[in-house]
Structure 1
């Protein structure tokens, strides 16, 4: 999962990102609220972690913008050095889903993040099988079937197809796809991604007559849509 972390304290973002990366997530640290907002306008994240006291734009201001402009189900965890009940209630009332009081404890951070992600993305647990209509994905084996028939895909094609289905209806930027599927090889040619997308569309027959459309989003990336009659 891609997680954005806002805190003006470098040591704090380093700690949080270290914990998140060890739990298998991708972490993007930000030291200012304005910097984070600029990135949120361009990129998709699966969870936000926001420090309540940031010099340029406060945590509540960033959260208010996110709640107005982004997916309302986007989970937000706020961090605060204040432990009074009033401050915590104010943070939750502003739209945060959970909170942590500094100093951050590694085990607690991992547990709270995992709980928020499970709640927000129930279909993305590490189940033996993940099903979307006629398509059944088996993440541990890389096996993919449609209507009970096996589809011959490479591991990258499997990862790419699962990424699209997990984000059904949501436009994914090229940067997001690149990081999610080719995380350790960010220098791949642009054409490589387009070729893989084309293969996924063809092998899974993601066409309107089959109920799905995998289409480019101009100057941004791709989106898999479900076609309703």
Structure 2
């Protein structure tokens, strides 16, 4: 199994610093721009991508969107921008975490390991969760709606698994932030709303399909199968 982390950043000093701190636990591959990101992913088969926002050729937002079209890989965005809107945009595009420069290499290492733990949670137990029109295979992290496979990002899968495993339970937005993004994530609850919106769109692919995720006004969301 691959143990590679792909770092995409045009600052060579940053790349070397990240590599120095991660190479005891991971194989670190470096790319200095956004050219042929799909080729780099195929060649390195990374378990996680650290992606700078301000890149030549293609910026980090474009690359994050491009990766998410075909790859179910955790992504940590790395940027000098600290504006809250930028953080929310990255999460809306499918990023799993967001770190602002300048950063502590030890914090980055901790976040990398935390994201990898969350993305692989549940993988050790062969388990299938079934609802009318919906099947979650926990071991393979695959989802089918009416028998057809649906591609989910790691965060979308984690949200669905958490809520489907607790059908009928109401989760506040703050609770979902803590459980899915981690207690140290300092974004706001709009990230949850954006992920829920994307997840609903993927699950409710047919006009007459069941609905699964419902808004509890003033509180948050719950999973419940409704015709």
- TM-score normalised per structure 1: 0.51
- Higher deviation after alignment, 41-50 or 53-62: 41-50
1:107 equivalent in structure 2: 106
Structure 1 ranges of 4+ moved more than 6 A: 130-133, 166-169
Aligned residues: 129
CA contact (8 A) 1:3 1:47 kept: yes
1:48: which partner in 2? 49
C-alpha contact (below 8 Å) 1:82/1:101 kept by paired residues: yes
* C-alpha distance in structure 2 between counterparts of 1:37 and 1:49, whole Å: 15
Name the residue aligned to 2:12: 10
User: Whole-Å Cα distance in 2 between the matches of residues 131 and 93 of structure 1?
Assistant: 29
Stretches of structure 1 lacking an aligned partner (at least 5 in a row): 125-129, 134-165, 170-229
> Which secondary structure state, in structure 2, belongs to the residue aligned with residue 8 of structure 1?
coil
Residue 121 of structure 1 deviates from its aligned partner by 1.4
- TM-score (normalizing by structure 2): 0.52
Aligned residues of 1:4 and 1:45 also touching (Cα < 8 A): yes
Gap change, CA 1:37 and 1:131, over 3 Å in 2: closer
Distance in 1 (alpha carbons) for counterparts of 2:78 and 2:7 = 10
- Cα distance in 1 for partners of 2:122, 2:43 equals 25
Matching residue of 1:79 = 78
Asked if residue 122 in structure 1 is aligned to residue 124 in structure 2, the reply is: no
Q: Is the 8 A contact 1:6 1:36 kept in 2?
A: no
CA deviation after TM superposition for structure 1 residue 55, in Å: 1.0
Q: Deviations over 1:2-34 (max 9, x none)?
A: 110000010011111111113x11110100111
- Distance between the aligned counterparts of 1:25 and 1:122, measured in 2? 19
Q: Please list, as runs of the form range in 1=range in 2, the aligned pairs for 1:69-218 lying within 5 A after superposition.
A: 69-71=70-72, 74-122=73-121
Alpha-carbon distance in 1 for matches of 2:23, 2:108: 12
- Report deviation, 1:36: 3.5
C-alpha separation between the residues in 2 aligned to 1:14 and 1:35? 21
For the residue of structure 2 that corresponds to 1:45, the secondary structure is coil
Partner of residue 68, structure 1: 69
Structure 2: 5+ residue runs without aligned partners? 128-138, 143-227
Residues 37, 62 of structure 1: 8 Å contact kept = no
- What is the CA distance between 1:105 and its match in structure 2? 0.6
Residue 33 of structure 1: SS of its match in structure 2?
coil
> Residue 27 of structure 2 corresponds to which residue in structure 1?
26
